[in-house]
Amino acid sequence: MAKQRVLSGIQPSGNLTIGNYLGALRQWVAEQDTYECYFCIVDLHAITLPQDPAALRAKTREVAALYVAAGLDPERVTIFVQSHVSAHAELSWLLTCLTPLGWLYRMTQFKDKSAKQQQESVGAGLLNYPTLMAADILLYQAHAVPVGDDQRQHLEFTRDLAQRFNSMFGETFVIPQAMIPKAGARIMGLDNPTAKMSKSETSDYHAIYLLDTPAVVKKKLMRAVTDSYGEIRFSSDEDRAGVNNLLTIYQALTGQTNDEIEAHFAGRGYGDLKKAVVEQVNDRLQPLQDTYNRLMNEAGYLDRILAQGAERAEAVAEKTLQTVRERMGFVARPV
């Protein structure tokens, strides 16, 4: 039986964090044999907010290299840059024309991101973000989409749009499922443990980046917000969110149970907990950074991976797009 397909992507805006690793990349690595996987670097999504061209170029390559450094095997999975496969932009337009404006206006991400700007100056791309994401997923007929909880609404939108297309033009798209990791892998901001750790937060003590040096990791973690209870245990209380977050990171890295971890830290202070987390994080990041540096220094390596990825992705995407064009009534280009 053919393997089911998985597709996911990360925007090349900001620096990838330990939250991206524990909540996404690590899951992707675990799925690479079970599914036929497509992982893209969604640069067309990144430009829905202003990007500096040189930074966008550098970050796109950096994220691609981090995919590999985190353990994705470019021979077994397809790693590609979204803008290299023009079918994404094209299907996005076709879907845009089938999308009721009301569906777009009610998206919480659009409301949040546009609220931070002047209404009139918000780019139309921000409103259309979900149709581009739907195109990413539907082009590959993905069955499953591993994403964080914050992307649930985008997945619902994609399913609704796929169903709408199928009922208007005939069965064309696989209806995808969100694949949301169980609680535990949700890493919060170190300086604000009630908000998800974000790669686009500008504060220096918010996130651990995958390319942070050991000294920087230590400095950030030692400053992480805790509380005054002085008790090391897992908790869903808001005022214990900082300690819970440190424990969650520790658990994600060691694989130990809540009981084992609480027993290990019984009677000890937050300083000890922080030091233990520093050690675990640095132990995990070091081999990842070594691989990253090695492959960034190997001339042509990343280009070869991205060329091969784009070629494989394009073959699949073009096939779907061809069907969509025919079903919608476009005249085939005479050969």
Q: Is 151 in the site for ligand TRP (CB under 6 A)?
A: yes
Shortest reach from residue 59's CB to ligand TRP, in Å: 14
Residues between 152 and 211 that touch ligand TRP (CB under 6 A): 154
The answer to whether residue 9 forms part of the interface with ligand TRP (CB under 6 A) is: yes
Q: Is 182 a catalytic residue?
A: no
Tokens of 118: 């002047």
Q: Which of 18, 65, 133, 261 is in the footprint of ligand TRP by CB under 6 A?
A: 133
- C-beta separation of 227 from 239 below 8 A: yes
Residues 6+ apart with CB under 8 A from 269: 230
Beta carbons of 232 and 265 less than 8 angstroms apart:
yes
b (16+ CB within 10 A) / e for 234-263: eeeeeebbbbbbbbbbbbbbeeeeeeebee
Rule CB under 6 A: is residue 23 a binding residue for ligand TRP? no
Supply the minimum distance, in Å, between the C-beta of residue 135 and ligand TRP: 9
Q: Nearest approach, Cβ of 268 to ligand TRP (angstroms)?
A: 36
Residue whose pair of structure tokens reads 């990360």 in the numeric block: 10
The candidate with the shortest Cα–Cα distance to 96, out of 139, 140, 131, 48, is 131
Nearer to ligand TRP, 83 or 151 (CB): 151
Query: What CA dihedral angle connects 66, 72, 78 and 82, to 10 degrees?
Result: -30
Question: Which listed range, 96-104, 118-126, 129-137, 185-193, lies at the site for ligand TRP (CB under 6 A)?
Answer: 129-137
- In the range 76-95, which residues lie near ligand TRP by CB under 6 A? none
**From 59, 199, 218, 274, active-site residue:** 199
- 104 binding ligand TRP? (CB under 6 A): no
Residue choice 21, 37, 38, 45 for contact with ligand TRP (CB under 6 A)? 45
Q: Which stretch binds ligand TRP (CB under 6 A): 3-11, 195-203, 297-305, 325-333?
A: 3-11
Please confirm, yes or no, whether 116 is among the known catalytic residues: no
On whether the CB atoms of residues 88 and 44 are closer than 8 A, the answer is: yes
Q: Which is nearer to ligand TRP, 46 or 249 (CB)?
A: 46
For β-strands 5-10 and 36-41, DSSP reports them as parallel
Query: 146 Cβ partners below 8 Å, 6+ apart?
Result: 6, 8, 24, 27, 28, 31, 179, 180, 181
For ligand TRP, which is the closer residue by CB, 150 or 262? 150
42 touches ligand TRP by CB under 6 A:
yes
Residues serving a catalytic function are 113, 196, 199
**Can you give the binding site for ligand TRP, defined by CB under 6 A?**
7-9, 11, 42, 45, 133, 136-137, 145, 147, 151, 154
